[in-house]
Amino acid sequence: MDGMLTQEEIDALTGGNNSDSSTQQASDISESLTDAERDAVGEIANINMGTAATTLSTLLNNKVTITTPRVSYVTLNELSAQYDRPCVFIHISYISGIDGNNILILKEHDVKVITDLMMGGDGTNTEGELSELHLSAISEAMNQMMGSAATSLSSMLEKKVDISPPVASLVDLNDTIEDTELSNFLDGDIVQVAFDMKIGDLVDSQIMQLYPFDFARELYKKFMGSEVEQTAAPASQPEQTQPVSPAPEPVPTPAPQPVQPQPVPQPMPQQMQQPQYAMPMPNVNVQSAQFQTFNTGVSPLMQEENIDLVLDVPLEVTVELGRTNKSIKEILDFSPGTIIELDKLAGEPVDVLVNGKFVAKGEVVVIEENFGIRLVEISK
């Protein structure tokens, strides 16, 4: 009958809820990346998250383990089924070295645990709703994590890779997404990289990383291009080595034969005359000496040093409110209630020292019941 919709058209309008339609859609998605592209995305994500786990472990002062990734393909409907309650999306954009963006997905409870640990708690204060403080803290944590991951990616691709500050937002995938940029990101098929994440005994959960297909292919091209350059470099610039001459074969030296002395215009005195013998010269290959040119640049061993080896070394951070000089007599007169005037003006930034060395200036803030420092200037 004219004007009636077919089952395929109904499934398309309802988001493909029919199981046969979903199966066919998943089959179509699986052909969007080749096996090589899929393996490259998994390898890049594995290296990035390995570095990010070390950074997060130092930030939280707690052991963080992130397992080997699993690469799959999802749609927005399938993603909604996995996260049926509000979750936190962290949007990360690459601004240098690579053109693209991705999204990290964390569960609401995991964000609360990470925020509580960052604030100096024990990770058990997870009651109440997710606030702007939680979103701000998780954005800073992801900024440090993905910043270190970008450094690893720079070493892998042999070019500087940088990211913009991550933006965290609370998203309910069952509702309409108001963020236009996020909505465009999730419109269509997505590459999903899933990791199992453990934070001490507090979190045993998953963290998801979403890539658009175009960005996943861009990563593959960059990754393969860097490998081709590394492989071609030894062939295009062979190492200059010294030519090695074949060792001359030993030539038997004949016994010396006496020869007749040649007449000279002025004969030497009798006592100075010695019998003269001619020594035949062996057949020896003689050539000029060549020496290797020493490079005055940085040693290759120094170029390969890894900053990750010292990332977990604890440093003492001290905040100095101010200083003053007092005589011994004045110090002996100290008593409870004595006021000591410092050399800092009210409202003037305080000094932040790391292992006794000045590194930054900041202003004092109060976070719930604790003092904190907001950095306003970094020493160069």
Q: Are 350 and 344 in contact (CB under 8 A)?
A: yes
Residue 99 tokens, joined: 């053109």
Going by C-alpha positions, the residue among 161, 52, 154, 183 that lies closest to residue 99 is 161
Residue 311 tokens, joined: 């990332």
CA–CA separation, 294 and 289 (whole Å)? 16
Residue 4 tokens, joined: 């009636």
Tens of pLDDT, residues 298-338: 444 444 456 677 777 888 899 988 889 988 888 888 889 88
- Angle (CA) 65-71-76 rounded to 5° is 105
Q: What is the pTM of this model?
A: 0.52
CATH fold for domain 32-232: Chemotaxis protein chec (3.40.1550)
Residue 351 tokens, joined: 């000094």
In angstroms, the Cα distances linking 204 to 45, 59, 103 are 20, 18, 20
3-state secondary structure of 204: strand
Q: Tell the burial category of 198 from Cβ atoms under 10 Å away from its Cβ (0-12, 13-18, 19+).
A: middle
Element (H, E) at 12: helix 7-13
The predicted pLDDT at position 352 comes to 92
286 Cβ neighbours under 8 A, 6+ residues apart = none
CA–CA separation, 180 and 24 (whole Å)? 28
Q: Identify the CATH class of 315-378.
A: mainly beta
3-state secondary structure of 41: helix
* Regions of the chain with pLDDT less than 70: 1-32, 83-85, 174-188, 226-307
Q: Report DSSP letters for 91-144, one per residue.
A: EEEEEESS-EEEEEEEEHHHHHHHHHHHTTS-S----S---HHHHHHHHHHHHH
Q: Tell the burial category of 237 from Cβ atoms under 10 Å away from its Cβ (0-12, 13-18, 19+).
A: exposed
Residue 200 tokens, joined: 């001490």
Q: Where are the beta strands (DSSP E) in 172-327?
A: 190-199, 203-212, 257-258, 277-278, 317-320
The residue extents of the domains of the chain are 32-232, 315-378
How many beta carbons lie within 10 A of that of residue 249, not counting itself?
A: 7
Tens of pLDDT, residues 189-223: 788 899 999 998 999 988 888 888 888 888 888 77
Q: Are 377 and 349 in contact (CB under 8 A)?
A: yes
The predicted pLDDT at position 199 comes to 92
Residue 203 tokens, joined: 């979190």
Residue 351 carries which DSSP code? Answer: E
Q: How much of the chain is helix, strand and coil, in % rounded to 5? A: 35, 25, 40
The predicted pLDDT at position 52 comes to 86
CA–CA separation, 277 and 233 (whole Å)? 58
How far apart are the two ends of the chain, measured CA to CA in Å? 76
